[in-house]
Amino acid sequence: MTRRVACWRLPRNSGPPSMTGRDVNANTVLGLVVIALALIVLLVWIPLDTESGILEQVRRKVTIGDAMEPSLAAILMLVSGILLLVEPGGPALSPAHLRWLAGICGILVLGFALIRWTGPVMAWLWVDGVEYRLLRDTAPWKHLGLITGSIAIVAGLIAVVERRLSVRGILVALTVAGGLILIYDLPFDDLLLPPNGDV
Amino acid sequence: MKPLLKRLVAAFGVSVMATAGIAADWTPPGPVKLMIGFRAGGGADTQARLIAEDLETRLGWKIIPEQVTGKGGLTLATALAEAPADGTVIGMLVTESLGYNMAAAKTPLTPADFTALTTTASFQMGIVAPASKGWTAWDQMISAAKDGTPIRFGVMSPKLADLAYLLGQSQGVDFNIIEVKGGKAVLDGVTAGDMDVGFMAGIQTNGVAAGDLVNLASAMSRPLKQTPEAPAIADLGVPFDADGYFVFVAPKGLPDEAKTAMSEAIAQIVNDPESKAGTMIGKAFGGPAVISGDDLQTLLQDGYDAAGGLLEAASE
Amino acid sequence: MDLLDYAWAGVLAVFQGPVLFSIFGLSISATIAMVLFGFLNGIFVGATPGLGGPMAMAISLPILISIFGFSSDALLPVMGCLIGIMKGATVGGAVPAILFNTPGTPDAYLTTLDGYPMAKRGEARRALKVAHFSSASGDTFSDLVLILCAPFLATLVERYLDLPEKTALLILSLSFIAAVIGGSVAKGLLSAGLGIFVAAIGTGEDFYPRLSLGTDMLAQGFPAVAVILGVLILGEVFRGLEDLARSGYGRPTLPGHAPPGPPGNDKIRHLPWQDRRPLLPHIARSAMIGTAVGALPGIGSTLAATLGHAAGKRRHARKAPDARAFGTGAPEGIAATEAANSAVSGANLIPVLSLGIPGNAAAVFLILAADSIGGFNPGPAVFRYNQDAVNPELIIAFGLFATMLLANLINWTVGGTVMRSMAIMTRIPKHILLPVVLMLTLTSIYVQETRMAALWFVIGFGILGYVMRRLDISPLPFVIAFILGGRLEETARQAYAATGNDPFFLATSPISAIFVVMSISVIVLAQYRRPTTAS
């Protein structure tokens, strides 16, 4: 037990905290959040960020503008928020859930950074005069990001559940990366693995 | 350490670097991204991909096609304008994207922000009705409209909506203009009876030949190849037209040798009826229509400048 | 072309379509091979707790599109494979339910009630055979209803519904889905409203991509794959991993998980007729319940299984009071459940093919496939036919029917054997499976969209999917509204323009007025009767 390093603390065997129903007013909170969001969308975002209004004069006729659909969607959300206020109970998001999400996101952000930058950084370190952009269709350069990113994401997530970084996790990650190269890169000339469409 | 790696890199296929910069046999410095402004699987997309294939087999260039669609080609134009101008990124659009659409949108871009390479084919843009309506000529539809039949007019772009509106004005009728996404949607709408008439840019060819559809008029400055007797839009009192081409463009500032090499290579493939792309263009678009160099740059600029007149006329 | 000619052309498109490979001069049609592959795959994932049909469909779709491309030749192999997965997963779900008291798919939960007691008695093999027989019967019945009903319904829609009525029909289906999926109307509406709103971002008719905050990243809108896979797959992966992490890894999370029963000492080769006969009324009743439930968008197989099981239980207790009761290892219980949940899969394609409205996750992926490939737009226009012009979409539709019947044939012949060999799948640790699914999904989306932004979107929607699951908001109305949102706006705009800009276009025709009234009533009724049916 002591050998395992906790990535972040999770209560064991306690079940999802949301299911205990200790927060009776969860739906009320959710309703208020939804109402606030819907009002911001309806009164700020849509008016500022659409070219035509709800109705628009085009070619001497009144037509439906681009603001119509999102406004109706926002009104629908507003109605649902109001209905939620009168609906008691319901599960809530606990701080533990948010910590979990933050952890997952941390792993994914790290993985994406590796996917995006491993290749370019390696090219910059080892080859002068050639940008990664020009190497993006050349093995093994084009596979570097996928391999390191896969290790971070797959092995990382397995490690979070197992609470230790295992060789098995890394092997699984490498197998996944290899499999993806086998599925997408070898047989198809025109398909691009991440990040080779962005560079 | 470094020379060894350099050799390694060269062995992995970037040896083309060394030959870059020689005008006579210009080759792209790396894989070329071909942005396609049309949805995957359609006729325009097929054309672009076949040209890419022919470029690869004939010249050994590496072309990677990619879909960049939306907003009448402006999504592609915006992305392309920011791409490096070294021949590693090109795009395929219709001239309308760099003309009317660019002028109508509130974007700072103009055709001068791009290097025009070449056109490949033109549209056979007709105004088409289903045969079941019983109209065999334009005038019959107009008299039906004047008798009080509401006419639903299908269009697939704002420019065509403006043209339909002006047509109604000059003919003294009020069309119910229905804007849909893509020529296929107009064809479907007309076939399903949701629309009475619509613009079609070549997709009508088989239907007209089979007698299910009728070309009532040409929306171009010239008659339709398939129905030369149908009146052109100018004959109907509208001083604008829907002439259009498929066009390859690169970002502004593409070196001349790259520009020449690329536009010549594409033009050659398109003009060769034996090539895959050439065969396809012959079948689907009635043969190639190649305009390149300064002529094309002027054509694009003119299209952009003329758009203002159409926009103004249609807003009256 | 005659309607029968179309049906025949559809069958030929399956059997003589694009060739995958030739062996000894015998050409193997790609579609047949893909249906078989998909079906076996489906049993495999159905039998793996934590995977399930939708996940397998989501992962396969991009790979299939890479293989077969975007031509209309790709439609039958790709959709055939997805249909195979969908059907296989339904069959496979019963395996872990019976052997280990762990449902492989949510709708197999009720199968555990009688299946696991049978396995504990040493009748695992018999239980699996009962499950397979009932599942295959329910599925086949449902497909036949689909083939008979979809063209009829589509023709009706096409003949009587103009653009305003089509708009009203879309509104009705959306409000129905929001009202019936999940336990709460408010949460259903929230989910659907959010879906429509997300569909609005970066789209619209103006040249300025609305709600894009002036960024290039949002200007292209959200790619459909990123939204759908994010909410449906990543949301589930995030939640599944958290549950595993909390419960201590290595141990399955489902509460009722139990050791397997004694190895099958019931060496029956075929289910004898005297065993099958008492099942038949249960299968027939449940197949009809499942088909009826499946034909309504959004209700789904879990409710069908519940209703089928409950109806069977009442009937069984009354008619055969001396026999083993439901819940104590009665084969009839397995039959009533499996026939009902399997009968959903065919019937839920009725609204997809005839109206273009998806009713569950599997249907969402079929629409996504048709959408990505192009050349086939599920909806009433598919079934339009006249004598002179060939309608290629109708051939595809009959081709799809043929693939479904083919999948049934495969199910009847080899399905049972394959199913019984899948017990091993329940041993794969879920905490390794889920990260692999995540990486596969991310890469597949990138290959299709070729920009990192799509990956950020999919993570964002994964978080949304996770939060929705934690707050007990069903993600399905969100996804369906996202798919239908764009269509709804387009149809409404067209209807408005077609009626000469009549602002009351929804109220002027009696049919559309009735649809609108029904849309509102279904929400009000569901809200009023809410606490009675929580699923």
C498 and B210 in contact by Cβ < 8 A? Answer: no
B188 and C381 in contact by Cβ < 8 A? Answer: yes
Comparing B300-304, C62-66, C136-140, the range with the smallest average pLDDT is C62-66
Residue C132, pLDDT > 70, answer: yes
- Written as one letter, the residue type at B241 is D
**CA-to-CA distance for C328 and C313, rounded, in angstroms?**
11
| Cβ pair C48, C437 in contact under 8 A | no
Top pLDDT among A26 and C424 is at A26
Residue C107 is encoded by which pair of tokens?
């709708």
For C273-283, how does the pLDDT look when each residue is reduced to its tens digit (9 = 90+)? 888 889 999 99
B79 and C216 in contact by Cβ < 8 A? Answer: yes
Residues of B in contact with A136 (CB under 8 A): 30-31
**CA-to-CA distance for A197 and C223, rounded, in angstroms?**
15
Residue A173, pLDDT > 50, answer: yes
CB-facing half-sphere around the CA of C493: CA atoms within 13 A = 25
| pLDDT tier for residue C269 given thresholds of 50, 70 and 90 | low
CA distances B165 to B100, B127, B311, C111, C409, Å, are: 16, 13, 11, 63, 56
For C425-473, how does the pLDDT look when each residue is reduced to its tens digit (9 = 90+)? 767 788 898 999 999 999 999 998 889 999 999 999 999 999 999 999 9
Chain C, residues 188-217, CB within 8 A of chain A, namely 188-190, 192-194, 196-197, 199-201, 204-208, 210-214
Residues of A in contact with C207 (CB under 8 A): 51
How many residues are given for chain A?
199
The answer to whether C160 faces chain A, any CB pair under 8 Å, is no
pLDDT of residue C212: 92
| pLDDT tier for residue A7 given thresholds of 50, 70 and 90 | very low
Residue C264, pLDDT > 70, answer: no
**CA-to-CA distance for C58 and C444, rounded, in angstroms?**
9
- Averaged over A174-197, what is the pLDDT? 90
DSSP B239: S
Residue C424, pLDDT > 90, answer: no
| Percent of chain A scoring above 90 in pLDDT | 59
| pLDDT tier for residue C530 given thresholds of 50, 70 and 90 | low
pLDDT of residue C534: 41
Q: Say how far residue A151 (Cα) sits from the centre of its chain.
A: 18
Find the CB nearest C208 among B106, B188, B212: B106
How many residues are given for chain B?
316
Q: Spell out the residues 6+ positions from residue C16 whose beta carbon is closer than 8 angstroms to its own.
A: C29
Q: Spell out the residues 6+ positions from residue B251 whose beta carbon is closer than 8 angstroms to its own.
A: B80, B81, B82, B83, B84, B85, B89, B113, B114, B115
A59 and B161 in contact by Cβ < 8 A? Answer: yes
Residues of B in contact with C389 (CB under 8 A): 207, 210, 212
Q: Spell out the residues 6+ positions from residue C345 whose beta carbon is closer than 8 angstroms to its own.
A: C86, C87, C90, C139, C142, C294, C301, C362
CA distances C503 to C308, C497, C498, Å, are: 45, 10, 11
Please name the residue of chain A whose CA is at the shortest distance from the CA of residue C524. A83
pLDDT of residue C335: 95
Q: Print burial letters for B257-292: b (CB count within 10 Å at least 16), e (below 16).
A: bbbbbbbebbbbbbeeeebbbbebbeebbbebebbb
pLDDT of residue A88: 78
Residue C345 is encoded by which pair of tokens?
């899969």
| Cβ pair A146, A177 in contact under 8 A | yes
Residue C380, pLDDT > 90, answer: no
pLDDT of residue C388: 65
CATH fold, domain B27-122+244-315, is: D-Maltodextrin-Binding Protein; domain 2 (3.40.190)
| pLDDT tier for residue C483 given thresholds of 50, 70 and 90 | very high
Domain with CATH 3.40.190.10 in chain B: 125-236
Give the residue from A58, A62, A66 with the most B CB atoms within 10 Å of its CB, the best one to mutate: A58
- Averaged over C39-45, what is the pLDDT? 92
pLDDT of residue C256: 42
For B139-153, how does the pLDDT look when each residue is reduced to its tens digit (9 = 90+)? 999 999 999 999 999
| Cβ pair B23, B258 in contact under 8 A | no
- Written as one letter, the residue type at C246 is R
- In 3D, which of C38, C27, C31 has the Cα closest to residue C10? C31
Q: Spell out the residues 6+ positions from residue C280 whose beta carbon is closer than 8 angstroms to its own.
A: none
**Highest mean pLDDT of the ranges A66-75, B42-51, C311-320, C357-366:** A66-75
pLDDT of residue A191: 87
| pLDDT tier for residue C51 given thresholds of 50, 70 and 90 | confident
- Written as one letter, the residue type at A77 is M
Give average pLDDT by consecutive 10-residue segment, chain B, 316 residues. Answer: 44 40 69 92 88 93 91 93 94 95 92 96 93 93 94 94 95 93 87 91 87 93 92 94 95 94 94 92 88 94 92 88
**Chains in touch with A (≥3 Cβ pairs < 8 A):** B, C
A158 and C435 in contact by Cβ < 8 A? Answer: yes
pLDDT of residue C133: 95
Give the long-range contacts of residues B225-231, CB within 8 A, separation 24 or more: B225/B124, B225/B286, B226/B124, B226/B126, B227/B126, B230/B126, B230/B137, B230/B138, B231/B138
pLDDT of residue B137: 94
Using CA atoms of B113, B117, B121, B122 in order, give the dihedral in degrees to the nearest 10.
30
Residues of A in contact with B62 (CB under 8 A): 137
- On average, the pLDDT of chain C sits at 88
Residues of A in contact with B177 (CB under 8 A): 59
Q: Spell out the residues 6+ positions from residue B13 whose beta carbon is closer than 8 angstroms to its own.
A: A137, A138
- Antiparallel, parallel or unpaired: β B63-67 and B176-179: unpaired
| pLDDT tier for residue C267 given thresholds of 50, 70 and 90 | low
pLDDT of residue B51: 95
CA distances C394 to C145, C191, C390, Å, are: 18, 34, 9
d(CA B225, nearest CA chain A) in Å: 31
How many residues are given for chain C?
535
ipTM over 0.85: yes
B66 and C450 in contact by Cβ < 8 A? Answer: yes
Residues of B in contact with C390 (CB under 8 A): none
Sequence ranges of the domains in chain C: 3-532
pLDDT of residue A23: 47
Residue B278 is encoded by which pair of tokens?
């050439």
Alpha helices of chain B — where are they, by DSSP H?
2-9, 16-19, 43-59, 74-81, 95-96, 102-104, 138-146, 158-171, 183-192, 205-210, 256-271, 276-285, 293-315
For C103-124, how does the pLDDT look when each residue is reduced to its tens digit (9 = 90+)? 777 778 889 999 999 998 888 8
* Reported CATH class of domain B125-236: alpha beta
- Averaged over C199-225, what is the pLDDT? 90
- Antiparallel, parallel or unpaired: β B114-122 and B125-130: unpaired
Other Cβ atoms closer than 10 A to A60: 11
Using CA atoms of C409, C410, C416, C419 in order, give the dihedral in degrees to the nearest 10.
-140
For C170-188, how does the pLDDT look when each residue is reduced to its tens digit (9 = 90+)? 999 999 999 988 778 999 9
A190 and B64 in contact by Cβ < 8 A? Answer: yes
For A9-32, how does the pLDDT look when each residue is reduced to its tens digit (9 = 90+)? 444 444 444 444 444 588 999 999
Please name the residue of chain A whose CA is at the shortest distance from the CA of residue B35. A197
| Cβ pair A198, A180 in contact under 8 A | no
Top pLDDT among A45 and A186 is at A45
CB-facing half-sphere around the CA of C114: CA atoms within 13 A = 25
| pLDDT tier for residue A1 given thresholds of 50, 70 and 90 | very low
pLDDT of residue A18: 44
pLDDT of residue C174: 93
Find the CB nearest B12 among A51, A128, A138: A138
Residue C22, pLDDT > 70, answer: no
**CA-to-CA distance for C239 and C291, rounded, in angstroms?**
31
Alpha helices of B92-182 — where are they, by DSSP H?
95-96, 102-104, 138-146, 158-171
The answer to whether B71 faces chain C, any CB pair under 8 Å, is yes
- Averaged over C81-109, what is the pLDDT? 87
pLDDT of residue C533: 41
C471 and A30 in contact by Cβ < 8 A? Answer: yes
Top pLDDT among A60 and C90 is at C90
For B189-224, how does the pLDDT look when each residue is reduced to its tens digit (9 = 90+)? 898 888 999 999 988 888 898 888 999 999 999 999
DSSP B288: -
d(CA B211, nearest CA chain A) in Å: 34
pLDDT of residue C259: 54
Q: Spell out the residues 6+ positions from residue C124 whose beta carbon is closer than 8 angstroms to its own.
A: C98, C99, C118, C260, C261, C263, C264, C266
Other Cβ atoms closer than 10 A to C509: 17
Give the residue from A27, A59, A80, A101 with the most C CB atoms within 10 Å of its CB, the best one to mutate: A80
